């Protein structure tokens, strides 16, 4: 005898998918997926990223030059206290793994910021886009400060949104701690304080005096965190002071090639950093949504206003300074990428909501899927080729070659000159060299810089010397996918024994 028919508990299923347990389970999946992608292939050879050897040396010798605050070093030192590793490769991979973890935390923090503005399902899509964004994924493979800084800037943004709505003791401490950790990651974290001070001019809080009063209380918390993390500055104060002075000059005066905002119409990072490496589809959607937000300023949410001001303020600061260090100038915009992706998802929603027919909705949906997939493909390709660097082939050739060879920086960390343009071809020939090995990470910067006005005469001289070098026969080793950041330069092995082409 059969019992009564079994009814599907649709409310129960819907309730499960709407539950906090499912939501944070989803966030954990995103974290693990991002961490897996960030750790994959982070064992590429020590020395290919020119800044990593110095970081490893600081870990080994318990020293620092304070050109960056110490949070990243301190995190790795604590981890290595338990591991006791001494080998260069082991330590650099430990540092890269710490970047991978902070890169995965960026995904979680992005979700926390996104969910209030676009709901949890679209927030998950946005977080997935953050997890697979080439700029963030590749930099999460480097023992460098950019990812840990981005992580704590996002925490500070999340804390600030809470603080803006409800200034008070807990939110002030929360904000001060997050800001202090951001400042302890990179000195430009102090820009957050200017951002906090500026916001009431365009987004008015409920009580301005109360806002600034509690914001003043945030300062000692921030400074306290900074001093706790960077306590070695007390015993090395002169080194700390000279480093801060140098970095200030570096920001204001730029690197060897100086790219001023006005001469590029403030579009440098949009054209060369964000568009190509966040994805042009996501970039266009982001600009579209930001434009709509500004146009509808009076009716949009406070959070969207805060995020727009943050994105625009930090973008134009990065554009204003002539400091756009080649080859990896994209690292300067990592901290605004998650916010731009938030507006990309907003742009998707605007397009879908504007669609009037099923066909149009389907077409927009297909476009959105394509826009989301392209950065995923780029990230997978870039990470896959990290341990297949072009310099591996150059190294094999150099080891087997019986000739006298000179290579420049961004090839190896040993037996190099800063740049082959330090001398002209005749001087290299007179010194007995038969082959010169050049990196696109150097010669491309000088070719780019030579197209700009107002550069040091050395830039134009370097470009001319490279042109003269490339008049000789050369073998070119090109990346299987693309050059990016500090990985996979195009390598040219130049035969200066023979006559010019």
State the Cα–Cα distance between residues 342 and 335, nearest whole angstrom.
13
Q: Above 80 in pLDDT, residue 1?
A: no
Provide the pLDDT confidence category of residue 159 given band limits of 50, 70 and 90.
very high
* Confidence (pLDDT) at 346: 96
The predicted pLDDT at position 14 comes to 52
**pLDDT for the residue numbered 15:** 61
The pLDDT value given to residue 16 = 55
pTM: 0.93
Q: In the predicted model, is pLDDT for residue 9 greater than 50?
A: no
**For residue 457, what pLDDT is reported?**
94
Given a cut of 60, whether residue 106 has pLDDT beyond it is yes
The pLDDT of residue 136 is above 80: yes
State residue 359's pLDDT score.
83
Span 294-317, pLDDT tens digits: 999 999 999 999 999 999 999 999
* CA pair distance 200, 229, nearest whole angstrom: 30
Q: Which pLDDT belongs to residue 414?
A: 59
Q: Going by C-beta distance under 8 Å and a sequence separation of 6 or more, which residues neighbour residue 493?
A: 394, 397, 435, 436, 437, 474, 475, 476, 477
* pLDDT tens track for 230-252: 999 999 999 999 999 999 998 98
Residues 6+ positions from 416 with CB-CB distance below 8 Å:
406, 407, 408, 409
Of the segments 49-53, 109-113, 449-453, which one has the largest average pLDDT value? 109-113
Average pLDDT of the residues in 270-278? 97
The Cα–Cα gap between 274 and 280 comes to 8
Reply yes or no on whether the pLDDT at 228 is more than 90.
yes
**CA 168, CA 134: separation in Å to the nearest integer?**
38
Identify the three-state secondary structure at position 313: helix
Tell me: pLDDT of 7 over 70.
no
- State percent of the chain over pLDDT 90: 84
HSE at residue 432, side-chain half, CA atoms within 13 A, is 2
Q: What is the overall mean pLDDT for the chain?
A: 93
pLDDT of amino acid 13: 52
Given a cut of 60, is residue 157 above it in pLDDT?
yes
Closest CA to 414 of 388, 440, 387, 395: 395
CA distance linking residue 27 with residue 409, whole number of Å: 41
Q: What pLDDT is stored for residue 362 in this prediction?
A: 85
Is residue 31 within 8 Å of residue 107, measured between CB atoms? Answer: yes
Q: Could you give the dihedral angle defined by the CA atoms of residues 483, 318, 109 and 371, in that order, rounded to the nearest 10 degrees?
A: -50
Contact partners, residue 271, CB within 8 Å, separation at least 6: 264
Domain ranges of the chain: 13-384, 390-495
Give me the DSSP letters along 74-92.
Answer: HHHHHHHHHH----HHHHH
**Per-residue pLDDT tens over the stretch 332-353:** 999 999 999 999 999 999 998 8
If one compares 206 and 339, the residue with the highest pLDDT of the two is 339
Interval 115-130: pLDDT, tens: 999 999 999 999 999 9
């Amino acid at each position: 005898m059969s019992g009564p028919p079994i009814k599907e508990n649709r409310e129960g299923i819907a309730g499960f998918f709407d539950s906090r347990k499912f939501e944070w389970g989803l966030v954990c999946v995103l974290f693990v997926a991002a961490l897996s992608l960030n750790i994959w292939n982070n064992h590429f050879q020590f020395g290919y990223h020119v800044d990593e050897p110095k970081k490893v040396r600081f870990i080994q010798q318990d020293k620092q030059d304070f050109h960056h605050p110490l949070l990243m070093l301190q995190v790795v030192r604590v981890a290595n206290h338990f591991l006791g590793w001494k080998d260069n490769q082991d330590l650099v991979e430990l540092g890269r793994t710490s970047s991978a973890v902070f890169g995965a935390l960026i995904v979680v923090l992005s979700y926390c910021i996104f969910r209030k503005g676009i709901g949890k399902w679209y927030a998950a899509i946005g977080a997935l886009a953050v997890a697979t964004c080439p700029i963030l994924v590749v930099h999460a493979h480097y023992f460098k400060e950019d990812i840990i800084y981005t992580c704590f800037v996002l925490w500070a943004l999340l804390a600030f949104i809470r603080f803006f709505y409800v200034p008070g003791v807990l939110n002030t401490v929360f904000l001060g701690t997050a800001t202090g950790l951001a400042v302890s990651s990179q000195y430009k974290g102090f820009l957050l304080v200017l951002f906090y001070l500026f916001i009431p001019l365009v987004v008015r809080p409920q009580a301005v005096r109360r806002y600034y009063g509690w914001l003043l209380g945030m300062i000692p918390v921030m400074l306290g965190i900074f001093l706790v993390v960077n306590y070695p500055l007390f015993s090395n104060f002169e080194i700390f002071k000279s480093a801060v002075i140098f970095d200030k000059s570096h920001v204001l005066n730029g690197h060897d090639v100086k790219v001023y905002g006005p001469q590029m119409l403030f579009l440098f990072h949009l054209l060369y950093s964000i568009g190509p490496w966040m994805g042009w589809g996501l970039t266009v959607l982001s600009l579209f949504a930001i434009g709509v937000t500004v146009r509808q300023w009076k009716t949009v949410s406070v959070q969207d206003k805060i995020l727009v001001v943050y994105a625009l303020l930090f973008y134009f600061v990065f554009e204003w300074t002539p400091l756009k260090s080649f080859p990896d100038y994209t690292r300067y915009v990592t901290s605004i990428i998650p916010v731009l992706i938030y507006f990309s998802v907003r742009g998707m929603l605007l397009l879908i909501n504007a669609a009037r027919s099923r066909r149009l909705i389907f077409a927009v949906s297909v476009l959105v899927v394509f826009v989301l997939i392209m950065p995923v493909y780029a990230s997978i390709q870039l990470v896959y080729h990290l341990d297949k660097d072009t310099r591996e082939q150059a190294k094999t050739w150099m080891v087997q070659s019986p000739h006298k060879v000179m290579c420049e920086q961004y090839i190896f960390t040993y037996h190099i000159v800063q740049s082959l343009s330090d001398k002209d071809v005749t001087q290299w020939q007179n010194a007995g060299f038969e082959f010169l090995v050049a990196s696109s990470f150097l010669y491309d910067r000088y070719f780019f810089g030579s197209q700009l006005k107002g550069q040091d005469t050395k830039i134009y001289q370097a470009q001319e010397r490279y042109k003269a070098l490339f008049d000789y026969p050369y073998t070119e080793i090109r990346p299987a996918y693309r050059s990016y950041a500090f990985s996979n330069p195009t390598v040219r092995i130049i035969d200066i024994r023979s006559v010019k082409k």
